[in-house]
Amino acid sequence: MDKRKPYIPTDEFGRKCLNCNKWLTFHRIIGKHKCCNKKCREEYNTGKKKKDDNVAKNVTSNNKGNIGELLACADLLRKGYYVFRSVCTNNPCDLVIFDGKNKIFLVEVKTVYINMAGEITNPPTDKNIFHILAKVILAENRVVYESKIPEIKELIESW
């Protein structure tokens, strides 16, 4: 047996390339690779990579979340709302906003990225106790708002 020929595993023991669906060679399985070669990996990653954001590389993900919350606060203040931030990390929402008259909204803030295909990533929202989802795009210093409630959707569209 030629030692240079790759071992092709059976479906019981192997894994397939996430891009081309070919079987991975034995050394790639042991190395925990996801694709069969460099070209496939580059093709697979197209549309999945995050564009570089304008935050320093050594900033922790926790601090990126705090930066995102502050950007959302500033944006909502510009829109004329009174903004109240959460003191605890385990509260059901990140912000409470008040329009000064009679409407109060709960806001969940998520930091998101734009992938190479130009799409905004959808963050997991484990808490469903909010009226507005604020997606903060750090790379563009921009906030995108969403809501499942029709009346609030109309309000957001008027911003």
More confident residue, 152 or 42: 152
More confident residue, 12 or 34: 34
Max alpha carbon distance in the chain (Å)? 81
How far apart, in whole angstroms, are the C-alpha atoms of residue 24 and residue 17? 6
For position 30, what pLDDT does the model report? 62
Chain CA centroid to CA 77, Å: 24
What average pLDDT is seen over the chain?
80
Kindly tell me if the per-residue pLDDT of 69 is higher than 90: yes
The 10s digit of each residue's pLDDT in 118-158 is 778 777 777 678 999 999 998 888 999 999 888 888 888 88
Does the domain made of 61-158 have the CATH classification 1.10.443.10? Answer: no
More confident residue, 64 or 81: 81
For position 79, what pLDDT does the model report? 94
Kindly tell me if the per-residue pLDDT of 48 is higher than 60: no
Q: How is the chain split into domains, by residue range?
A: 1-45, 61-158
For position 90, what pLDDT does the model report? 81
For position 9, what pLDDT does the model report? 45
Three-state SS for 94?
coil
The 10s digit of each residue's pLDDT in 75-91 is 999 999 999 998 887 88
Contacts of 16 (CB under 8 A, 6+ apart): 22, 23, 24
Kindly tell me if the per-residue pLDDT of 13 is higher than 70: no
* % pLDDT > 70, the chain: 78
What number of other Cβ atoms are within 10 A of residue 98's Cβ? 13
Classify residue 7 by its DSSP letter: P
Contacts of 21 (CB under 8 A, 6+ apart): none
Least confident segment among 2-11, 106-115, 129-138: 2-11
Token duo for residue 29: 């399985």
H or E element that contains 157: helix 150-158
